[in-house]
Amino acid sequence: MNKDNAIELKNKIDVNRLPKHIGIIMDGNGRWAKKRGLPRTAGHREGVKRVTEIVEAAYNLNVQYLSLYAFSTENWKRPKNEIETLMKLLIQYIDKEIEKIHNNNIKVQTMGDLSKLPLPVIKEVNRAVELTKNNTKMVLNIGLNYGGRDEIIRAVKNILDDFKLGKIKKEDINEENFKNYLYTKDIPDLDLLIRPSGELRLSNFMLYQVAYTEFWFSDIYWPDFKEKHLYQAIIDYQKRDRRFGGV
Ligand code: FPP
C-alpha cells in the first residue's frame, strides 16, 4: 500500500467519531530485526521512527490522547545492552522531537515508576514533561517502567495513606475516584488498543483502563507499522458497536 492508499484510508475515517484515547503496545521490534539478520536493537531503532510518524499521524487526525508502551516493569529482564539501547533511544527521541512536540501544543506525560530509570533518562523525561505541561492539543502519554498491576497496587497503597490521614472514607471509594489514584488520573479510559506483531495479549498494559476498550490486533511488526495501519485500526474501530454492557 502506498501513500495514496494511506490518504484514501484517512478519508474513510469519520472525524466526528474518533477514538478519544488510543493506546499502542509497540511489539515485534526484536522479530523484525531477527528476520533481517540484524541485532534486536536495530528493531528498536526502526521502532522509534514509527513512534515519530504515528505521533504525527494521530496529532493530524486530532486524536486527543495517545498512550505508548515504551518500557514495562518486566522489560528489566532483558539483556543489559538492550536495556541501555532502549534508554538511549528514549533520550534521543525526546532530544530530537521535543521542539516539534512542543510547537504542536502536545503535552508529554508518563506513567510508571520513573525513579528506577537511569538519571539521564529521568532528567530528559522531566524536561519534556515540564516544558509541555500547559499544552492542550494532544496528550502523549508514555509508559516507562510501567505495569498495570504495579499501577493498581500503587493506587491501593496511596488510598491507604489517604485513609490513614482521614482524607478518604471506605464508603467513598468507587470506580470513579479510584481512577484519581492511577497514573492516568487526568486521562479518559482507553477507547482503542492497538497491538501489532501477532501477539493476542495485554502484557500488563493499562489493566484498569481497558474495561470497555476495543482491541485491534495485527500481524505487522511495530517497525513496519505505518500511518495507514493506524487509519485502518480507526476505521475498524468505527465499525464496532460499543455497548458498555448495555443493549
Ligand atoms: C517490544 O518489541 C518493544 C519494546 C519493549 C520497546 C518499545 C520501544 C520503542 C519502540 C522505542 C522507544 C520508545 C519511544 C517512545 C521513543 P520486542 O522487543 O518485545 O519485540 P519481539 O517481541 O519481537 O522480541
Please tell me which residue, 244 or 79, carries the higher pLDDT value. 79
Q: What is the pLDDT of residues 20-38, one digit of tens each?
A: 999 999 999 999 999 999 9
3-state secondary structure string, the chain?
CCHHHHHHHHHCCCHHHCCCEEEEECCCHHHHHHHCCCCHHHHHHHHHHHHHHHHHHHHHHCCCEEEEEEEECCHHHCCHHHHHHHHHHHHHHHHHHHHHHHHCCEEEEEECCHHHCCHHHHHHHHHHHHHHCCCCCEEEEEEEEECHHHHHHHHHHHHHHHHHCCCCCHHHCCHHHHHHHCCCCCCCCCCEEEECCCCCCCCCCCCCCCCCCEEEECCCCHHHCCHHHHHHHHHHHHHCCCCCCCC
Cα 228 to averaged position of ligand 1 atoms, centre (Å): 20
| Nearest ligand 1 atom, CA 34 | 23
To test ligand 1's pocket by mutation, which of 24, 25, 27 has the most ligand atoms within 8 angstroms of CB? 27
Q: What is the pLDDT of residue 128?
A: 98
145 is a catalytic site residue = no
pTM: 0.97
Q: Show me where the domains of the chain are located.
A: 3-146+190-196+204-238
Q: Per-residue pLDDT for 1 more than 90?
A: no
Is any atom of ligand 1 closer than 6 Å to the C-beta of 93? yes
pLDDT over threshold 60, residue 69: yes
Q: How far apart are CA 95 and CA 78, in angstroms?
A: 24
| Amino acid found at 97 | E
Q: Give me the pLDDT at residue 101, please.
A: 98
Q: Using the mean position of ligand 1's atoms as its centre, give its distance from the Cα of residue 159 in Å.
A: 32
Instruction: Specify the pairing of strand 106-111 against strand 214-217.
Output: unpaired
Annotated catalytic residue: which of 2, 4, 27, 141? 27
> In one letter, which amino acid is 40?
R
| Ligand 1, atom nearest to 69 Cα | 7
Q: Using 50, 70 and 90 to split pLDDT, how confident is the model at 247?
A: confident
Rounded average pLDDT over 90-96: 98
Rg of the chain in Å (alpha carbons): 18
What is the number of the ligand 1 atom nearest to the C-alpha of 92?
Answer: 16
| pLDDT (mean) for 98-109 | 98
Q: What is the pLDDT of residues 133-161, one digit of tens each?
A: 999 999 999 999 999 999 999 999 999 99
What is the structure's pLDDT at 242? 86
What spacing in Å lies between the alpha carbon of 188 and ligand 1's midpoint? 24
Q: With a 6 A CB cut-off, is 218 part of the ligand 1 pocket?
A: no
CB of 55 sitting under 6 A from ligand 1: no
* CATH for 3-146+190-196+204-238 (3.20.20.10, 3.40.50.450, 3.40.1180.10, 3.40.50.720): 3.40.1180.10
* Residue 101, ligand 1, Cβ within 6 A: no
Nearest CA to ligand 1 atom 7: 70
Catalytic, 27? Answer yes
Mean predicted confidence (pLDDT) in 103-110 = 98
Using CA atoms of 177, 135, 20, 185 in order, give the dihedral in degrees to the nearest 10: -10
Report how far ligand 1's centroid is from the alpha carbon of 38 (Å).
15
The whole-number pLDDT of residue 132 equals 99
Q: How far apart are CA 30 and CA 10, in angstroms?
A: 29
Q: What is the pLDDT of residue 50?
A: 98
Mean pLDDT of the chain: 97
